[in-house]
Structure 1
């Protein structure tokens, strides 16, 4: 019976492993795809989200970039594989004779099934000035169209005051998605920056008014704000100068932002004019684990972190992260994420090796212990991002010197070891603003970034799946070939699926799975499926395996294109499919 329908045969499959089997081998990356063919000016500040069969990317088109005034907000739609991108759809509904300047950022777009949520900053009531407001729009058809935009209450009248910084958090809920906007407005450039939270618990149909988060609004200047949420538990961290010098604070709400618990000072530095805070408060939460990190400057740059394992009710001790030399090495741009299993991942840049480069550390036990902090980039890199998802840790950054490229690395063992760093994307211009999203359905890392290959910044997408298939040897009539499967995180067995045809097809995985493989359901694929279990399959050991030698049959003409994908599965109590790779192309030689 074809394609993993004979579980009793599976124990007979033995893995054929290479003599050396290094972990976390670098997978192939997808070719870069430009997403904004209609951009009039420069693409700006992308954000990306992915869920199920959909991916959405938001960006700004600053088409009057000479004066820095006019711009529009757009969304591009793709599938869960990071392919099949549609033309951009405009989100904002600004119809002024002179369009206002608008700003998006990496956390301002979120996706839940067919619903797309976008928040942006807008100077519509103060065109040419610096006073900002916040707008929200929702799509119910996957981003094909957007409903009426909504002006959000930032805590000051429209057109007055400045939005110094904002962040958006999202938590899906079948009864009504939770959306949170943390905003820090000020009455003027000389006034203190306040701190408010706006919340919606019905997918943006209705919104609360601004609820004060800091008890010192109007007197203490809030900086470096950070936001995370899990259901109706909301976590906020920030720095303010209530004691003279900036210190790091945390506060949580357990009722969706309506009320707030006590403020907790996280840093141990002495308050006063010298302070202990440099910049860069970052925050992430998943379930009971909440991680806050920040940069302190007393005595030299130091990256500090505290972790809670009770959803923010209390925090463990302050930990110094990294083995750079405090007082000698410059430390910048931390980023943090928390995995579903509670693993905390931190990345940052420091110059211990001469130039700025990326280091990473992780804690598997709620912040009690941390891994070593290896160099995960080349000798020159900056502006890292980290994502903890799919049982793995992923990092990206821009680096290698001007023109910078998008690069990345990943860990499949909770940060104990990392892959070698590699290029993500093949653009040739200077790259900026690299952002990440994880698609759980396809086990797929999707990356977007800006690059100026054409002279001005344009929007590109690429990425990779950590699991991959490699063809070992040329495919020739009468010759032998094997197929190597690497970095599979789910399933005890793996197989190679093969199809022909001049273009990829639309074969969906069976057994109720339904994922798109991109393969053509042709005679070659049907023959391949008949050999699974069999010569096209293998047991996986630590996620790796190699199929037995296959004698390639005669009959296919020289040059016949072939498309291949790897898939893993378990067969305890029935066939359950696991990881699926990107397509690999080859041909009969």
Structure 2
């Protein structure tokens, strides 16, 4: 694996520049584009800024201010971004209306132009810590909101690239605090994690939707320990759901991990990933194929520094911790993104006397994907008396067929690099997961009569 390149300072002003916390993402990448968003105090109050690279992070365009609402007090912060092709979807918390509300704007041309600001919430409570994800024309948003008297997780969605939005939908209902929601989507399956103190201390909870957010599973408690579990980050790869969080069960904050191989139906045991004498916190996780990439900030060196580790086998084994920053200041709140072989990392850093945005990249940090041999799928004849034939599968591959509720129907072995998948007898939407030794591929199947 190629090495990480040197730190690159992206902002140069005499005021603070802040990235969002780890439940949202402040960096996204697609093909040759890399986009970063943050809140910046160079104006009278905090405003949302963006910056983009069109050459894989080698060079960067000038800072661009996206909000213009501050007048001695109001502020825009907690900016989070999602990408779907050329569309960028940006959300943030804004106080221009006298209380904290969620606002949105979008770009349909890779960040060249942006829409007007759109207010998405309108209630007397505090709306904050948004997390957004997108897939094709679907855009999904979660945030924490105390309109009911305590913080609960709320959700809304758009089916047309952010042009129109659903009503607010309350996803949690308990007497404790539900906070720090993080959401991810793949193949129309939505996965949500947050931390919740309904049990007397903060624990990690999870729920999912298999129908684009129309209905949701019950809340599932994923951690059970006497101390705080919080700040979750979630990443998806095929049928795998990967989750990291900060946990204090060991006396100081450490990064923990668990995974599900069946779209969130069942989960592994908790696994401790860091073991340092001081706090490790604010993890950011991404996944593609069997590759996982994790960044966090860590106090083991006497001050906060950015660390990294990775797995190339769906989280079974992990590399040693790798220190990525080395400065006398504080480096914190990393956010990581990948596109093809490229890893992109952004964080906030006060080595220059005030908070600035820093970036670094690893051009071949995700290089294992180049080893993938994509299976050849013959034409899908969508009739219940037909079958799917798949050729070119490497030895050791497995195929799993799931129904619309996520229930596994079949597990198929590969013989002579070939598999035959009988279609279900009932009409409907089915998911075929093709798992090879080095990759996971999803194929939606529509069965009609």
With the length of structure 1 as denominator, give the TM-score of the two structures.
0.54
Offset from partner CA, 1:558-584 (integer Å, 9 cap, x none): xxxxxxxxxxxxxx9xxxxx99xxxxx
Q: Where does the alignment leave 5 or more consecutive residues of structure 2 unmatched?
A: 375-393, 398-416, 418-436, 439-449
Query: Residue 146 of structure 2 is aligned with which of 241, 258, 264?
Result: 241
Q: Where does the alignment leave 5 or more consecutive residues of structure 1 unmatched?
A: 1-27, 37-42, 44-58, 63-69, 72-100, 270-274, 469-486, 493-539, 544-571, 573-577, 580-589
Query: Residue 121 of structure 1 is aligned with which of 32, 39, 48?
Result: 39
Tell me what 2:111 maps to.
204
Offset from partner CA, 1:479-524 (integer Å, 9 cap, x none): xxxxxxxx996359xxxxxxxxxxxxxxxxxxxxxxxxxxxxxxxx
Q: 1:389 to 1:120 in 2, by over 3 A?
A: same
- 1:203 is displaced (CA, Å) by 2.7
**Separation (CA, whole Å) in 2 of partners of 1:450 and 1:260:** 32
Tell me what 1:391 maps to.
290
Q: 1:151 to 1:242 in 2, by over 3 A?
A: same
Tell me what 1:168 maps to.
81
Within 5 Å, give how 1:84-95 maps onto structure 2: none
Tell me what 2:180 maps to.
280
Three-state SS of the structure 2 residue aligned to 1:146 is: coil
- 1:226 is displaced (CA, Å) by 1.1
**Separation (CA, whole Å) in 1 of partners of 2:32 and 2:2:** 27
Offset from partner CA, 1:219-262 (integer Å, 9 cap, x none): 12102211111122111101111111111111111111222224
Query: Residue 11 of structure 2 is aligned with which of 35, 60, 74?
Result: 60
Q: 1:427 to 1:462 in 2, by over 3 A?
A: farther
Query: Residue 273 of structure 2 is aligned with which of 376, 384, 387?
Result: 376
CA contact (8 A) 1:193 1:222 kept: yes
Three-state SS of the structure 2 residue aligned to 1:121 is: strand
CA contact (8 A) 1:309 1:366 kept: no
RMSD of equivalent CA atoms? 3.9
Tell me what 1:587 maps to.
none
Offset from partner CA, 1:156-200 (integer Å, 9 cap, x none): 47777311322122211xxxx101111221138xx4201121122
Query: Residue 290 of structure 1 is aligned with which of 180, 183, 190?
Result: 190
Say whether 1:35 aligns with 2:29: no
With the length of structure 2 as denominator, give the TM-score of the two structures.
0.69
Tell me what 2:247 maps to.
350
Q: 1:400 to 1:255 in 2, by over 3 A?
A: same
Tell me what 2:90 maps to.
181
Offset from partner CA, 1:363-388 (integer Å, 9 cap, x none): 22222111111111114422212111
Query: Residue 318 of structure 1 is aligned with which of 219, 231, 234?
Result: 219
**Separation (CA, whole Å) in 2 of partners of 1:60 and 1:212:** 28
Q: 1:235 to 1:355 in 2, by over 3 A?
A: same
Tell me what 2:413 maps to.
none
**Separation (CA, whole Å) in 1 of partners of 2:359 and 2:53:** 23
Q: 1:457 to 1:124 in 2, by over 3 A?
A: closer
Q: 1:423 to 1:239 in 2, by over 3 A?
A: same
Query: Residue 418 of structure 1 is aligned with which of 305, 311, 317?
Result: 317
CA contact (8 A) 1:293 1:306 kept: yes
Tell me what 1:306 maps to.
207
Query: Residue 361 of structure 1 is aligned with which of 258, 271, 285?
Result: 258
Matched residues, number: 370
